[in-house]
Amino acid sequence: MTDFLNTWGLTAVIFVPLIGAAVMMLIPEREEETHKLIALLTSLLTLGFVAALMIEFDYGDAGTMQFVQDKGWIDVINSRYILGLDGISIPLLALTVLIVPSVIVYSWHHIPHPGNAKAFLILNLILETGMVGTFLAQDLILFFLFFEVVLLPMFFMIAVWGGEDRRYASLKFFLYTLFGSALMLLGFLALFFLAKDPVTGAALHTFDMRALTASAGSGIVHSTQLWIFAAMFIGFGVKVPIFPFHTWLPDAHTQAPTQGSVILAAVLLKLGTYGFLRIAIPILPGAATTWAPWIGLVAVIGIIYGGLACLAQTDMKRLIAFSSVAHMGFVMLAIATMTPFGFNAAIYGMVAHGLITGMLFFVAGSVKERFHTLDIKRLGGLLISVPKLGWILGIVTMASLGLPGLAGFWGEFPAILAAYNPANGLSPSIFRTFMVIAALGTVLAAGYLLWLYQRVGMGEPSEEFAADPGITDVNTREWLAWTPLLALIVVFGFLPGLIFNVTDPAVVQILDNCLQNADGCTAVAQSALGRG
C-alpha cells in the first residue's frame, strides 16, 4: 500500500472521481439510486485515498514535496506530468475531498430543477477531479489544465440547474474566468522563455514549478517580472475574486444551485489564492514585493466594499456571496504581507472560509427549499419554526464573523495581526493602515451577520408560512452532510495547531527559498528567517 501511495497515490486521488463519472455515463439515467450510490462511493473512496496519504505523509518534512510523480506528458512543449503534495496543499486537498461527499449526500433528495441526477452528479465528480488536480499539479501547464477543467462543469451546473437569471450568470462566470486564465497562460509562457537557472544562468525552458520556484525569477528583468506577475495577478485575482474583478461572484452564487454555491465558495475561490501562494509569489518574489502594497490595497477595499455591500442586500444568498468577497479580502491581505505568519493565516483563512461559507450556503439552500424564498424581509423566526436549522445558522454566522473558539477566528485575526509587521522591504506604515481598515471590516462583518441573524433567525415566523406543512426541521440527509463540516468548524476553532503545524514548514520553505537568490527578494527571505 505504501509503495502504491508513493508512486500512484496522487494520480489515484485525481482520477478516481473521473473513473466513477465514466462508469456512471454507461448506466441509464432512470437508475437514479444507483447513480447516487456510485457517486457517493467514488467520493468516499477518494476521501479514503486522501486519508491514507495524510497518514503516510511525513509531517516532519512538510516543506518538501512528497509522493512526487514525474512522468513525460507533452514532450514537444517540455511540459511534464508532475504531481506533489506538501504542507500547503494538504489542508486544501482535504477540504476538497470532504466537501464533495457532503454535497453528494445533500443531493440525495435535493437534485435541483430540472432533475437528472445522473448528469448532475457526473458534473460534481468531474469538478472534483479538476479541483484536486489543481492542488496537486507541479507543472504550470498541468496546473492550467486542471484549473480550467473546473470551468465547464461549473458553467453547466449554473446554466442548467440554476435560478431565474442563470443564462446571464453562467456566461458571466465563464467569460470572467476565461479572461483571467488566458492572461495567466501568457504569463506562464513568458516564464517558460525567460526563467534562468540561478547558478549557471542557462535558460530553463521548463514548466516545472519546482525548478521555477528554485530559480525565483532570477535572470528576468524586474520590469518584465512586474508584467508577468500582473498577468498572473489578474488570472488568480478573478478567481479569488479580488476587487474589482469580483462582479461575477454575486451573480454566480445567487443563481447557482445550492450544491454549486457550496463548491464554488468552499473550493473554487481557493484555487485563486492557492495560485498566489504556490505560483505567483514563489516564482516571482521580486515582483511580488513590488506589487504587495497594491494587493494589500485591493484586499482591504474588498473587505470594506464587501461588508458595505452585505449591509445593503435583501437576498440571503447574495449577502453570503458578498461576505465571501470580504473574507477573501482578509486572505489576500494576509498573503500581501509576504510573511510566514501571513501565509499561514491565509491558508487557515481559506480552509475556515471553505467550511463556514460552504455551510452558510447549505443552510441557505435548505431555507430556500422550505420557504421558497431567500428574501430576508419575508423570512424570520427560524428559531421557532425550524429550531435546529436556526441554531445551525446561528453557529455558522458566529463562526463567519470570527468569534473566538470557532474556525473563522483563526483565519481573520492572524491576518490582521500579520499586517502589523509585513516583510522587510514593505512599508509598515502602509500595512498598518491596512490593518486598521481591515479591523474596521471585522466590525462591519459582525454588523451584517448579526443583523442577518436577527432578521432571519429571531422574531416571530411570518404568517404566510404558518400553515405550510413543507416546513420541517433538519432531516437525516442534511445531518449526514453537515455534521463533519460543523464538527470541523468547532475543532479548528479550538485546535488551530492542527492546520498551522502542517502548513508552517511549507510556508517557511517557500519564503526561505528566496535566500539562495539575491535577485530582489532578499528582503522577503530575511524576514522569513527573522520570524520563520
Partner 1 sequence: MLAALVQAGGSFSRPSVDWHAASPELILLGVGVLITVIDVVWKQRARSLVVGLSSVGLLAALVPVVTLAVDGTPRSMFGGAFVVDDYALIMKAIFLLSAYVVVLMSTNYIAEGDYWENEYYSMLLTSVLGMLLMTSARDLISIFVALELLSIPAYMLATWRKRDLKSNEAGLKYYLMGVFASAIMLYGMSLLYGSAGTTLLTGINKAVSATDKPTAVVTLGVVFVLIGFAFKVSAVPFHTWAPDTYEGAPTPVTAFLSVASKAAGFVGLMNILFVGLIGRSDVYQPLIWILAAASMIVGNTVALRQTNIVRMLAYSSIAHAGYMLAPLAVVSADVVFAGGGSVVVADQALRATVTYLAIYAAANLGAFAVVIAVARKIRTAEIDGYQGLFRYAPGLTVLMTIFLFSLAGIPPLGGWFGKFRVLEALISPGTAWGSTLALLVVVNSVVALYYYGRVAVKMWVEEVPDGDMTPVRVPVSLAAALGLTAVATLAFGVGPGLIGHFTEVSLLAGIGG
User: Per-residue x/- mask for partner 1, residues 184 to 223, rule CB under 8 A?
Assistant: -xx--xx-xxxxx----xxx-x-------------x----
Rounded Cα–Cα distance for residues 332 and 4 (Å) = 37
Rounded Cα–Cα distance for residues 398 and 447 (Å) = 11
Asked if 73 interacts with partner 1 (CB under 8 A), we say yes
Asked if 449 interacts with partner 1 (CB under 8 A), we say no
Minimum distance, C-beta of residue 424 to partner 1, in the bound complex (Å)? 29
Nearest residue to 406 (alpha-carbon basis) of 514, 290, 496: 496
Place of cell 476538497: 96
Nearest residue to 527 (alpha-carbon basis) of 378, 370, 384, 422: 422
Minimum distance, C-beta of residue 248 to partner 1, in the bound complex (Å)? 13
Choice between 221 and 487, CB closer to partner 1: 221
Q: Assess contact for 283 and 209: CB atoms under 8 A.
A: yes
Minimum distance, C-beta of residue 75 to partner 1, in the bound complex (Å)? 6
User: Per-residue x/- mask for partner 1, residues 113 to 132, rule CB under 8 A?
Assistant: --------------------
Minimum distance, C-beta of residue 193 to partner 1, in the bound complex (Å)? 5
State which of residues 52, 68, 178, 230 lies at the interface with partner 1 (CB under 8 A): 178
Q: Assess contact for 286 and 218: CB atoms under 8 A.
A: no
Which residues, 6+ apart, have CB-to-CB distance to 3 below 8 Å?
A: none
Choice between 156 and 348, CB closer to partner 1: 156
Minimum distance, C-beta of residue 202 to partner 1, in the bound complex (Å)? 5
Minimum distance, C-beta of residue 151 to partner 1, in the bound complex (Å)? 6
State which of residues 23, 44, 145, 440 lies at the interface with partner 1 (CB under 8 A): 145
Minimum distance, C-beta of residue 76 to partner 1, in the bound complex (Å)? 4
Rounded Cα–Cα distance for residues 482 and 211 (Å) = 41
Choice between 197 and 473, CB closer to partner 1: 197
Asked if 83 interacts with partner 1 (CB under 8 A), we say no
Rounded Cα–Cα distance for residues 310 and 323 (Å) = 6
Choice between 126 and 393, CB closer to partner 1: 126
Rounded Cα–Cα distance for residues 327 and 448 (Å) = 13
Choice between 235 and 358, CB closer to partner 1: 235
DSSP reduced 3-state for 438: helix
Q: Which residues, numbered 53-72, are part of the site for partner 1 (CB under 8 A)?
A: 72
Minimum distance, C-beta of residue 255 to partner 1, in the bound complex (Å)? 11
Asked if 149 interacts with partner 1 (CB under 8 A), we say yes
Cα angle 288-67-38, degrees, rounded to a multiple of 5: 105
Choice between 59 and 193, CB closer to partner 1: 193
Cα angle 362-368-373, degrees, rounded to a multiple of 5: 145
The three cell numbers of residue 68 are: 512526487
Minimum distance, C-beta of residue 153 to partner 1, in the bound complex (Å)? 11
Rounded Cα–Cα distance for residues 11 and 16 (Å) = 8
Q: Which long-range contacts (CB under 8 A, 24 or more apart) does 142-150 make?
A: 142/73, 142/79, 142/80, 142/81, 142/82, 142/83, 142/207, 143/209, 143/275, 143/279, 144/181, 144/184, 144/185, 144/188, 146/14, 147/181, 147/184, 147/271, 147/275, 148/181, 150/268, 150/271
Minimum distance, C-beta of residue 297 to partner 1, in the bound complex (Å)? 25
Q: Which residues, numbered 150-169, are part of the site for partner 1 (CB under 8 A)?
A: 151-152, 155-156, 159-160, 166-167
Residues in the chain: 532
Choice between 83 and 334, CB closer to partner 1: 83
Minimum distance, C-beta of residue 247 to partner 1, in the bound complex (Å)? 15
The three cell numbers of residue 113 are: 430543477
Asked if 141 interacts with partner 1 (CB under 8 A), we say yes
The three cell numbers of residue 83 are: 504531481
Asked if 279 interacts with partner 1 (CB under 8 A), we say no
Choice between 119 and 445, CB closer to partner 1: 119
Choice between 118 and 270, CB closer to partner 1: 118
Place of cell 506533489: 84
Rounded Cα–Cα distance for residues 494 and 358 (Å) = 20
Q: How many residues bind partner 1 (CB under 8 A)?
A: 41
Minimum distance, C-beta of residue 57 to partner 1, in the bound complex (Å)? 28
Asked if 171 interacts with partner 1 (CB under 8 A), we say yes
State which of residues 174, 243, 362, 409 lies at the interface with partner 1 (CB under 8 A): 174
Minimum distance, C-beta of residue 464 to partner 1, in the bound complex (Å)? 30
> What is the distance in angstroms between the CA of the first residue and the CA of the last residue of the chain?
35
Rounded Cα–Cα distance for residues 469 and 471 (Å) = 5
The span of 47-55, 137-145, 364-372, 404-412 binding partner 1 (CB under 8 A) equals: 137-145
Choice between 145 and 480, CB closer to partner 1: 145
Which residues, 6+ apart, have CB-to-CB distance to 475 below 8 Å?
A: 109
Choice between 324 and 517, CB closer to partner 1: 517
Binding site for partner 1 (CB under 8 A): 72-77, 141, 144-145, 148-149, 151-152, 155-156, 159-160, 166-167, 170-171, 174-175, 178-179, 182-183, 185-186, 189-190, 192-196, 201-203, 205, 219
